[in-house]
Chains A and B, each alone.
Chain A
Amino acid sequence: MSGNRILSIDNLRVETQTGVLLDDVSIHVDRGEVLGIIGESGAGKSTLALSSIMLFKSGCRPTAGSITLGGQSLMELGTAELETIRRTKASYVAQSAAAAFNPFYRLEDQVTEIPAMAQKLTSAQRRRMATELFEELQLPDPQNFGRRYPHQVSGGQLQRAMIAMALINQPDLIIFDEPTTALDVTTQIEVLRLIKKVASTHNCGALYISHDLAVVSQMADRIVVMRNGKMVEQGPTRQLVDHPQTEYAKRLVAHQGDGSYASTNGSDETLLDVRNVDVGYGGVTAVKDASIRLGSGSVLALVGESGSGKTTLARSIAGLQPARTGEIRMRDSLLAPLVERRSFDQRRLIQYIHQLPDLALNPRQTIRDVVGRPLSYFHGLRGTGAEQRLRELMDAIELPVAYLDRYPASLSGGQKQRVCIARSLAAKPDILICDEITSALDPLVEESIVKLLTRLIKDEGLSILFITHNLGLALRFSHKTAVMQGGRIVEHGDTRAVFEQPQSDYTKSLIRAVPQLREGWLDGFSANAA
């Protein structure tokens, strides 16, 4: 067994001056094996990944444990020896290929940099080496692909080019650090399948890091669950997914959902009726002829990939970006295209929650200022009346009343998003427009926000337009679903119907591309499906 062992990290501890990043972490990777590492932000995944090639960000250093790569203990090696190890034994695939490629050089020169350093190669030889790999990674026009600069190719292609670069030195270990997080689901599928193929044909070991349990479960043979720099649980993939032991792992698995839909409590009464809306800026039409309906007391999910126009449509409903044609009705009243033209009550009844709570909260206002403003503006509440209501709102979003005097900077991402929800509730709206409000949050925080919203629908009689790129989330949370592609609504109906009998090909491919925990899901994709 030990003859096949590529990487072994034992009892590793990494510290900064102020804290501990990794505490007593032990992992190992054998040849032909993919080890998945999963955890939320701040769990220490990337620190662990880089430490396997003895790289630490400035200010961090290992204080205990050992790292053995290809039979050599890295802790004792000097800089030059470590550089040789990195050139020959391991490769790293970063999350954002667009930032990780040097903008100054052509792709083929970057991909073949390592072999060209070891021996003199003509540019024809270098091109041949690169072309071979580009072919393997199914890049278009592999002969000429390498002549391009990084900014001249798309994100998915760049990610594949980076995998090519990782393969060039025939490494024993490849570290994949969230390689598909920046990609859309349909692009993600192609890259995932390539990674899987590459890992098996090149007979190396791999570390696969992600915050997405479904993705990791498809890629890895074994999984390590990390949280706050510690290992929470580890085991073979199927065992961990089917029989998680720790509370945390159980919640991670439960977060994937059991495929059940939200219970329908929405009435048929139409609250918001959007008909044949076109939205654009300058010569670009971002939304074309879109019609959607939001029922009273229900959740309508608006799903689509980046650039599909879903946020633009939401902003035109809010009146931030005026619709060029078409009409938007709330109950019986026609809404003006621009929010400035809408009445006091119309502005109050539709509230908009942004994607990034960091930008949606003024850093120089306390939570009391933030939530108190709509109370005084819309309801004229001041003094004890306002104080009473503020306490109720803090209860509603499940934050301590003492937080009222804090500034946003001292709150976590999830807490900030709760404050944004409280600010919307303060207006006593009928409709909440939620624009990807959980996409910047960790899975379990996302879960708690969705739970909160579900309760608020009942307690406050809200209806929600829920914009998301996450189909799994739409399935669990919404009653109706609309799918957008290229600015058009390509599917609109009951969530169950959309997911079980999708009408358009695009919806079908989108649903198929959502990673699942199910064994063999990824392998089930035939080459022409994606």
Chain B
Amino acid sequence: MSNKLTLTVSLAVLATMAAAAILAPVLAPFPPNEMVHAAFDAPGVGGVLGADGLGRDMLSRILYATRYTFVATLIATTLACMIGVSLAIIAGLSKGWVDIVIGRAVDILMSIPQIIFALIILAIAGVSLTTLILTMAVLQSSTYYRVTRPIAGDLAAMEYVEVGRLRGERLHWYLFKEILPNMVPSLLAQFGLGLSSAALFISSLSFLGIGIQPPAADLGGLVRENALALSTGRLTPLIPAFCIALFCLSVNGIVDWLVGRFSDKPDVK
């Protein structure tokens, strides 16, 4: 039952964060990039959560930052999933040299530490939101490939797929009737894990100053901007970081529930 509770809480947290991200323009008391308070105003004095070093309203900036983090994470993860799964299915069904080439390429991609790879690409191509998202999508697609390739391979070797082959079924039948339905549970779980690792990854890059560029800031960027204020003895600079942790914790909670649920076989009864 505690599993159910975790699920409910996780969903509630995610829904709240999503609402905050979508409704940021409505909810934010001030424009995020305008200096409306005195620098380093304490919470309560200048806005609910105080002001940053330039006198901008912290609450408004956090709402908008959540938006950036959400959008970037979601797009990058979806792209990564699509790239990885397509490659895995192509490799699994075609076998032969196509499989080998894709497999080698992914091996190489995975043998290089992701953050280093991202730093190099961003240094060369320059930092922009599009580059950031594309880089993340390509880097994380290797994970989806690694998870789905064996499934695609196993499934393609499954006897029930062989029965289809003996009958003379076409590719779209395999894909939509035999292979994809059986991949959904593990893909969903991987997508969840991918969301939290993408959120952590993008936040780390922004924290390093090579993610979303000022004056806009995502949650990681906000930590970078305000870290020095920690020395004043306030924890408010870390609120954005706690938001990331909360997001990941909730997503992982949902993944745990999913994994538990789909380990049972489906039945009509």
Contacts and interface: CB of A to CB of B under 8 A. Distances in A.
Given A320-B162, A407-B267, A409-B265, A347 B181 contact: no
Interface stretch (A157-165, A353-361, A489-497): A353-361
A265 B205 CA distance: 77
Given A406-B267, A407-B268, A409-B266, A344 B168 contact: yes
Contacts of A427: 167
Given A364-B181, A365-B177, A374-B167, A356 B266 contact: no
A441 interface: no
B267 A339 contact: no
B178 interface: yes
Nearest to A318: B166
A409 B181 contact: no
Contacts of B165: 320, 339-340
Contact of A359 (B159, B168, B267): B159
B266 A339 contact: no
Q: Chain A CB within 10 Å — which of B159, B169, B182, B269 has the most?
A: B159
Contact of A363 (B163, B182, B269): B182
A105 interface: no
Contacts of A306: none
A319 interface: yes
A454 to B, nearest CB: 24
A320 B178 CA distance: 18
Given A407-B266, A410-B267, A359 B160 contact: yes
Nearest to B163: A360
Interface of chain B, helix or strand or loop or mixed?
A: helix
Contacts of B182: 362-364
Contacts of B158: 359, 362
A340 B168 contact: yes
Contacts of A407: 265-268
A352 interface: yes
A405 interface: yes
A423 interface: yes
A356 B158 CA distance: 10
A374 B168 CA distance: 10
A525 interface: no
B266 A347 contact: no
A382 to B, nearest CB: 16
B163 A423 contact: yes
A347 B159 contact: no
Nearest to B154: A359
Given A359-B159, A362-B178, A365-B177, A406 B166 contact: no
Interface in B150-195: 158-160, 162-163, 165-169, 177-178, 181-182
Interface of A: 318-320, 339-340, 344, 347, 351-352, 354, 356, 359-366, 373-374, 377-378, 405-407, 409-410, 423, 427
Interface of B: 158-160, 162-163, 165-169, 177-178, 181-182, 265-269
27 contacts: A319-B166, A320-B166, A339-B165, A339-B168, A351-B166, A352-B163, A352-B166, A354-B162, A356-B159, A359-B158, A360-B160, A361-B160, A362-B158, A362-B160, A362-B177, A364-B181, A364-B182, A365-B177, A374-B167, A377-B168, A378-B167, A405-B268, A406-B268, A409-B267, A410-B268, A410-B269, A427-B167
Given A360-B160, A362-B182, 10 more contacts: A351-B166, A360-B159, A362-B177, A363-B182, A363-B265, A363-B266, A364-B182, A406-B268, A407-B266, A407-B267
